Amino acid sequence: TRLVATTVLLCMLLDPVILQTLGHQDLTTVEGFPSLNMKFDSRRMELSWDCKENTTYLECVMIHKEKGPIEIMLKENECHCKFPDYSLHEGVTFMVKVNSIQRPIPETLVYTNSGGKGTAAQNFSCFIYNANFMNCTWAKGQAAPDDVQYFLYIRDLKYRRERECPHYLEDSGTHVGCHLEDLSGLAYYNYFLVNGTSQRTGIQFFDSILYWKKIEIYSPPNNISVHCNVSHCLIQWEKPVTRHTLSNREFKYQLDIQRLIEVSGNWENKYNFPSPEPRAKHTVKIRTSDARIQRWGSWSQPVEFGSDDPEASLVHIYMLVVLGTLVSALIIGCLLKRFLASRRLFPRIPHVKDKWNDNHPSDHQVIWEKFASDPQKADNEEIVTVEEVTAVTAAPASV
């Protein structure tokens, strides 16, 4: 027990990392077994310990609060392990599983963010613009003292090259941002560390790993041009300059003409806009984004096309209306003339009227039912009967 306590004290003095065990039960486990004297190099993300005789090291584990446990299997007689790059400002726990002659023994190391709580820089963000410039900004911690001063360090994760911010942005003498004009040392993934100093209290650090593609804001497209014919206008442009060379399909564009129009980079950086003549004056603006991340950059300068004079457009419309009316009148006149000519050449032949089969009643046919007698006049009418009397020739008297 004394040996473990001495080892813990030495580790606290020699390294900002604190050595702990898994509790009272683990203390009894490691009793009589020498400490591994674990150390963690945050710049190299490497955990190391003292190799012991007759001991086999099985695996080392980093327990990250966001990513969970990251396990690395160890080779024989290997007394160190290297972890992938992760942020460390929330603290991590390391554990080495050791298989001694007696029994498996785990030993842990807790890496903490020392300093006053709430003193670290907050609201940290970076963005790349115009392909070769980068701005990073942060805010003073809520619990940070007035004399706090922050410093930014950037390390590319490929070659492990580190540099401090060359141009700080200040607010009342406190560093709250950084401007970089040379990004030649940056890789695809980069580690950003903001630590601080104060005469009053310890300042916690903030760190983050950023992927350049997620923080780059693309410039507007280059060489925007518009070419129009009678019915359409072809809008063309060139893809913007970016930090790294990208294919067309990795871009997406927005065109602001009369409404927002999204165009994929696969369309070969052009858009055919329906705009029949006469066309009024239009303006087009274009901005760019990554096809997947959807982080839009600034708009380009507006490009004009169409007629500048609205009266000229109205004159064109009137001319088209008059021309259309004349053409319609000529067509109607030709059709009418053709119809009249056909009437003269082929006059109508009269048909013989069929009185028997005609549906209309004959003019000589009288319907007597229409002349019904008036019952009031029936009593006053006199009926005269006329009979024809045949004259009889008298016979001569006989003598």
DSSP-assigned beta bridge partners for residue 233: 228, 273
Q: What are phi and psi of 221, to 5 degrees?
A: -60, 160
* Of 308 and 173, the one with more pLDDT: 173
pLDDT at 34: 60
From first CA to last CA, the distance across the chain in angstroms is: 204
pTM above 0.85, yes or no: no
* Of 19 and 151, the one with more pLDDT: 151
Measured CA to CA in angstroms, residue 336 lies from 138, 330, 346 at distances of 84, 10, 15
Q: What are phi and psi of 255, to 5 degrees?
A: -110, 130
Is 285 within 8 Å of 244 (Cβ atoms)?
A: no
Is 140 within 8 Å of 129 (Cβ atoms)?
A: no
Model confidence pLDDT, tens digit, residues 383-392: 556 565 555 4
Kindly give the residue spans of alpha helices, DSSP state H, lying in the chain.
2-14, 24-29, 212-215, 310-345
**Rounded to the nearest 10 degrees, how much is the dihedral formed by the CA atoms of 83, 87, 89, 90?**
-80
pLDDT at 101: 63
- Mean pLDDT within 58-63: 90
157 Cβ contact list (under 8 Å, min separation 6): 85, 187, 189, 190, 191, 209
All structural domains of the chain: 2-111 (2.60.40.3850), 122-216 (2.60.40.10), 218-310 (2.60.40.10)
- Mean pLDDT within 159-166: 91
Say how far residue 180 (Cα) sits from the centre of its chain. Answer: 29
Please choose, from the candidates 65, 62, 109, the residue with its C-alpha nearest in 3D space to the C-alpha of residue 81: 62
pLDDT at 383: 58
* Of 364 and 286, the one with more pLDDT: 286
Is 148 within 8 Å of 196 (Cβ atoms)?
A: yes
The single-letter DSSP state of residue 203 is B
- Mean pLDDT within 12-30: 35
Please choose, from the candidates 139, 138, 190, 124, the residue with its C-alpha nearest in 3D space to the C-alpha of residue 163: 190
pLDDT band at 317 (very low <50, low <70, confident <90, very high): low
360 has pLDDT over 80: no
